[in-house]
Structure 1
Amino acid sequence: MKKILIVCFAFLLSIPFYGQGIPPREEVNLDEVYSQYNLSGEGVLVVILDRGIDYRHPDFIDENGNTRIAYIYDMLDPTGAGSNPYGIGTIFTQAQIDAALDNNDPPLSTDRYGHGTATTGIAAGNGSGTAGLEFQGVAPKATIISIKITHDPFPAFGSEPGQSGFFDPSYLPVAMQFAEEKIAELGLPAVTLMNIGSIGGPTDGTSNIARAIDDFVTNTGTPFLCGVGDDGGNDNHASGTISSSQTIEIEIQKGETGNVRFDLWYSEDDRFTVSIERPNNTVHGPFTAPNGPNASADQNLGDIQIYHRGANVEFWQATSNRRELMIDISGATGTYKVILEGTQINNGGFHATLNPSTYYNNNKFLTFVTSGYSINDYASSNLVITPGDYVVQNEWIDINGIPRDITGQGEAGELWIGSSSSPTQDGRLGIDFVAPGEVCHAAYADNTYYESFSFNVLQNSNGLYGIQNAVSAAAPLSMGVIALMLEVNPNLTPQQVKNILHDTSRQDANTGTVPNDTWGYGKLDALAAINAAYASLGVSENNSLEATIFPNPSNREFTMVIPNTISKIKVELYNTLGQVLQTTYYESTNSINYSIDGASGLYFLKVMNEETNLQKTIKVIKN
């Protein structure tokens, strides 16, 4: 989502989130999770590939003044490229970050835009920028790795200089290699989020990045998230079938200045000639197709660039045996026609996308329009978890006490207009579920582009929190819930996590029958997901052995009653990581007084009749 950030601030009244952010927190039942289970993400690693982080923000510093960040990998900082095994960027360790904080040094790495800081705050900020922790993130004690893989352009503001954009997709596999190695090094249950991606590419799970995501999930055994994208709400997908000797005209309305990219994919077994007609009716072409999978037939027409590539030389290094026709149009606004003639047809089908083409601009297809298919290529990976975004509230009060709201992007309970839609280009469901990203609250750092807009900075936030929206908010909210699930059961596999999120998602009048291509399996329900995570531990209150415990919750002392006297009883106390904390044996009794001396929180007591092997495991809460 290199473009997602631009979207968020092109509409400045529709940005960020309350790590839990009261309406989103209530919407996904996080309040109940915290009150029932006392979870915090402690002992879980969250890895975020985004625009970096301002590590000086209080959200990422613990109660002892130490950073909660294990590593920052700033891939855009060239100073350390010669001293790390990846040959790109600079790696900062926890010790280096702590030293910089202690010495009040100039920042080692920055997020001048603000998106990466906000994302991390949503997933794992501790909310310590305010006394009441009102803006705390979902997993406030999780360990953090931040990988800066891109940054977005913005103009100069205040006394701050502007910034040009940068994105190099070749950095992504390197970022995943770094993440994979650090997950292994730290030895913590982990969840990774790549909070970028926009429409375009093969979107069928076969690009080099989609395959790298699959490899990452397989190699690490940990879940990987990528939001579906912010490309919903416009006619930015066209598809159809061309027969032999047929000529079709795909009309494009270029309603915005700057470049618009047309990206079309079709079978290597087919051949299309290409012409393009300008708004003034000038026609260029026809240009013949490349003559094989390793051939190119590119044309430079000044303000129109045509890149026609065989299946082995297209830009995404996909394995789907499809050709790519990419056309960049940077000329005048107006209606352009891409004219295709089928000269050799065995399949004839094609999919085409436009970028940028979103709900708020005027670039769109006028012919062969097909709804859906707007998810980003990374989200088409076979093993990725893909959340979309829906609306829970559209209002907030800014730092000056002025009420603000968003209009025209969906009402409470509805899908956010910009949330991308399935399916993938190979026909799979591309959305797992949706989370409430409209609007959320998140960490804002000083002197960032985000923070420069006071109407997005929240009331009573000490200037440290503002709004975040779009899929860029829904995805880290979802990540935080997965971190809590892994706190409950660190052994959950990526597929188990995905299955739980599918099975526990809520349906309502807005989602309709699920699964479907806009809502996936429905709306995220954190409490149901956490309950399912506990159930995955094998905990049951209905096993063969009869036993009851009271009071529950208790401050320390519990009484366990078994209806019949048992000669040999074994009682094991477990924490939420499944670790045995103590084992106690009793003889010839049916009543046991039991004490838990550990910290407050959730525990499990397994009671076993050693003669019959009957047992029962009961959840107990120590206040």
Structure 2
Amino acid sequence: MEQSYIIIYQGDISDLEDSLRNNGIEEFIILNDQLASIYPPLGFQESRLNDIKEISWWERSSPMSSLIKITDNLNEGETVRTAAGTDYIYKNPNISASGKKVIIVIIDSGIDYLHPDFINKDGTSKIVSIWNQESNKGTPPKGCVFGSEFTRDDINKAIKENDPSLCEDRTGTGTMAAGIACGNGNLNSAYEGVAIDSELLIIKLREYKDTYKTGKINYEMSDFLAAIKYVVDIYEVAESFMVINLTVGANPRATIVATMLDSFGRLSDWGITIVGGAGNEGNTDIHYEGRITDINETQDILIQVGDQKNLEIDLCLSGPGKIGAGLISPSGEVSYTIKYAPDYYLYKGKFNLENTLYEMRVIYPWLQSGTQELIINLRNIKPGIWTLRLYPEFIISGIYDIYLPNKALISEETRFIDPVSTATITLLATVDNIITVGGYNDKTDSIWIGSSKGNVRTRASMNVVAPAVDIVAPGVDIIGTYKDNSYNTATGTGVSSSLTSGVMALIMDYIYVQTDFSRTSLFTQPLKTYLMLGATRSEIYNYPNISQGYGRLNLQQTIIQIANNLE
């Protein structure tokens, strides 16, 4: 599969399109009035992007991983009804909320749309539409260049004919997320989802295999952002509210100002909200944090590499400093030492004894943080202890963070020798316009050990902006709808976000009937505030904190807090 890129452009779209085509780039998606995903052919020299005057900034698309792991533990699983506390809603004669007039968006591995839990009593589908990015059975959505869009009529026809060919879910994580959020429990009422009357919008992301390790599946940020464009297009014509459930995540960042999602202005509109899993990197050893205080000091960071094909190492600074780096292989070979240069040059080399190729690039400033990013890509990497050596050039705070790819994409043995579990929130969940949900373990009545932690720093100092996690929700062995007309259990912050997305659909339904109140409350910030106010907190902890945010999701208390503010 060709390398894809995300670009920020300037000027007329028609001029950009002409310039891309003149440079041999025929496949691209205009995401919004600032952003585009481009898909050059194999062999394309990315340095040519610097010569296209309409492109003001570009970066390679980055791999993303699922925040849901199927656990096959049905006998010991927890039902959604118990985990979310939905009996308070469905057994309360004074509350009629069930997620009506709300579309829940799932951007993941697809869906088993023939499962009875996604079929209404009249035989029609709960699904508004599907964009299967891997299908060539139909035509792509407007403005897109790959995959097939299937309308509700297409899906209804396939249901009648028992035809599963529109969308296959090979891993089951997309089906699980949809079932937890709003499965109607037709096959087994004990396993119904949270918002049983909500509808679904499904995007099946393209799968990429063996990027870092053989057998591992990842998604790509360029395709994910194309999915967000499709969601916005659907929202503009739908007569429904929308909850976007983010169950895939990019690698974490400690210092962030904005993400690509911020360029989609409609995501801040009335009636649309985003819920994102915090990440599953709380105990995976993919983060290292350090500080350099002496300009003449070098520091060595040890990285244990297991059996895998490739690896990426990302160095991020806090504040406007500059740090160079080199890499030492297990056999003692030393790479080129890369330092800041204004030419955006890609340095290439080879460790001859290991037969490992490397690429090194400094980006200063990186658009999403305003600080330095130093990226090292290794191809055909060999197991052993690799040493990253840092060379300070210019120091302000001296604080830096180094990340490996998400653990779900690499070998279990690949890790920092001296890791830090904080500042591991997945990139897209770090900004304020997303309800960031960590994972809670009801079995132990404690935070789930894998749940990513804050903080997120400012770009200019080491000060903390926020804990990053807003609330936590049950995310361990939750029972949900699974492929092939079955149920299964799953764990991860993508499970927690799916549960919370269903809760948000119930809350939006509840608020909407309060006509005057809904005009000011159906925005992300007020909705997030009510979740925080209603959250369960323990007396033994201070809140907010980097693991639990403002506490544990509590649907009943959140509804009570909203009711107390009704006039």
Q: Select the residue among 116, 125, 133 that pairs with 1:67.
A: 125
Residues 560-615 of structure 1: CA deviation (Å, up to 9, x unaligned): xxxxxxxxxxxxxxxxxxxxxxxxxxxxxxxxxxxxxxxxxxxxxxxxxxxxxxxx
Return the offset for 1:283.
Answer: 2.4
Write out aligned runs for 1:45-64 (5 A): 45-64=103-122
User: Is 1:468 aligned with 2:490?
Assistant: yes
Q: Distance in 2 between matches of 1:206 and 1:186?
A: 28
Indicate conservation of the 8 Å contact 2:283/2:421, yes or no. no
User: Is 1:273 aligned with 2:324?
Assistant: yes
Write out aligned runs for 1:345-364 (5 A): 345-357=395-407, 361-364=412-415
Return the offset for 1:425.
Answer: 4.2
Q: Distance in 1 between matches of 2:250 and 2:122?
A: 40
- Give the partner amino acid of 2:482: Y
- Residue equivalent to 1:512: 541
- Residue equivalent to 2:66: 4
Indicate conservation of the 8 Å contact 2:290/2:399, yes or no. yes
Write out aligned runs for 1:420-569 (5 A): 420-426=452-458, 427=464, 428-446=466-484, 464-490=486-512, 491=518, 492-508=522-538, 512-538=541-567
Return the offset for 1:528.
Answer: 1.1
Indicate conservation of the 8 Å contact 1:272/1:288, yes or no. no
Q: Distance in 2 between matches of 1:300 and 1:166?
A: 26
Select between 247-256 and 61-70 the one with higher mean Cα deviation. 247-256
Q: Secondary structure of 2:97's match?
A: coil
Q: Distance in 1 between matches of 2:159 and 2:391?
A: 63
| Change beyond 3 A, Cα 1:266–1:39 | same
Q: Distance in 1 between matches of 2:311 and 2:179?
A: 33
| Change beyond 3 A, Cα 1:82–1:445 | closer
- Residue equivalent to 2:191: 135
CA RMSD, Structure 1 to Structure 2 (Å): 2.9
- TM-score, normalised by the number of residues in structure 1: 0.71
5+ residue gaps, structure 2: 1-62, 459-463, 513-517
- Residue equivalent to 1:41: 99
Return the offset for 1:229.
Answer: 0.8
Indicate conservation of the 8 Å contact 2:314/2:375, yes or no. yes
Q: Distance in 2 between matches of 1:325 and 1:202?
A: 15
Return the offset for 1:279.
Answer: 2.0
- Residue equivalent to 1:318: 368
Q: Secondary structure of 1:487's match?
A: helix
Indicate conservation of the 8 Å contact 2:358/2:379, yes or no. yes
- Residue equivalent to 2:310: 259
Q: Secondary structure of 2:234's match?
A: helix
Return the offset for 1:498.
Answer: 0.4
Return the offset for 1:264.
Answer: 0.7
Return the offset for 1:169.
Answer: 1.1
Return the offset for 1:298.
Answer: 4.4
Indicate conservation of the 8 Å contact 2:132/2:204, yes or no. yes
| Change beyond 3 A, Cα 1:59–1:469 | same
User: Is 1:113 aligned with 2:171?
Assistant: yes
- Residue equivalent to 2:20: none
Return the offset for 1:266.
Answer: 2.5
Q: Distance in 1 between matches of 2:406 and 2:455?
A: 19
Q: Distance in 2 between matches of 1:226 and 1:31?
A: 24
Question: What is the percent sequence identity of the aligned residues?
Answer: 24
Q: Secondary structure of 2:497's match?
A: helix
Q: Select the residue among 364, 382, 406 that pairs with 2:432.
A: 382
Indicate conservation of the 8 Å contact 2:73/2:488, yes or no. no
Return the offset for 1:512.
Answer: 1.5
Write out aligned runs for 1:550-589 (5 A): none
| Change beyond 3 A, Cα 1:83–1:13 | closer
Residues 91-116 of structure 1: CA deviation (Å, up to 9, x unaligned): 11111111111223342112121110
- Give the partner amino acid of 2:202: S
Q: Secondary structure of 1:361's match?
A: coil
- Residue equivalent to 2:220: 168
| Change beyond 3 A, Cα 1:326–1:81 | farther
Residues 391-437 of structure 1: CA deviation (Å, up to 9, x unaligned): 113xxxxxxxxxxxxxxxxxx21111111111124333210111011
Return the offset for 1:74.
Answer: 1.4
Residues 528-578 of structure 1: CA deviation (Å, up to 9, x unaligned): 11223334442xxxxxxxxxxxxxxxxxxxxxxxxxxxxxxxxxxxxxxxx
Q: Distance in 2 between matches of 1:82 and 1:501?
A: 37
- Residue equivalent to 1:96: 154
Q: Secondary structure of 1:134's match?
A: helix
Return the offset for 1:273.
Answer: 3.3
Q: Distance in 2 between matches of 1:536 and 1:186?
A: 29
Q: Distance in 1 between matches of 2:345 and 2:75?
A: 45
Q: Distance in 1 between matches of 2:297 and 2:104?
A: 52
Return the offset for 1:292.
Answer: 1.7
Indicate conservation of the 8 Å contact 2:281/2:421, yes or no. no
- Count the aligned residue pairs: 481
- Give the partner amino acid of 1:176: I
Q: Distance in 1 between matches of 2:422 and 2:215?
A: 33
- Residue equivalent to 1:414: 446
| Change beyond 3 A, Cα 1:196–1:135 | same
Q: Distance in 2 between matches of 1:360 and 1:506?
A: 37
5+ residue gaps, structure 1: 155-161, 394-411, 447-462, 539-623
Return the offset for 1:120.
Answer: 0.0
Indicate conservation of the 8 Å contact 1:16/1:473, yes or no. no
Return the offset for 1:370.
Answer: 3.4
Q: Distance in 2 between matches of 1:173 and 1:227?
A: 17
| Change beyond 3 A, Cα 1:136–1:106 | closer
| Change beyond 3 A, Cα 1:288–1:63 | closer
Q: Distance in 2 between matches of 1:261 and 1:50?
A: 23
- TM-score, normalised by the number of residues in structure 2: 0.78
Return the offset for 1:203.
Answer: 5.4
Q: Distance in 1 between matches of 2:335 and 2:221?
A: 31
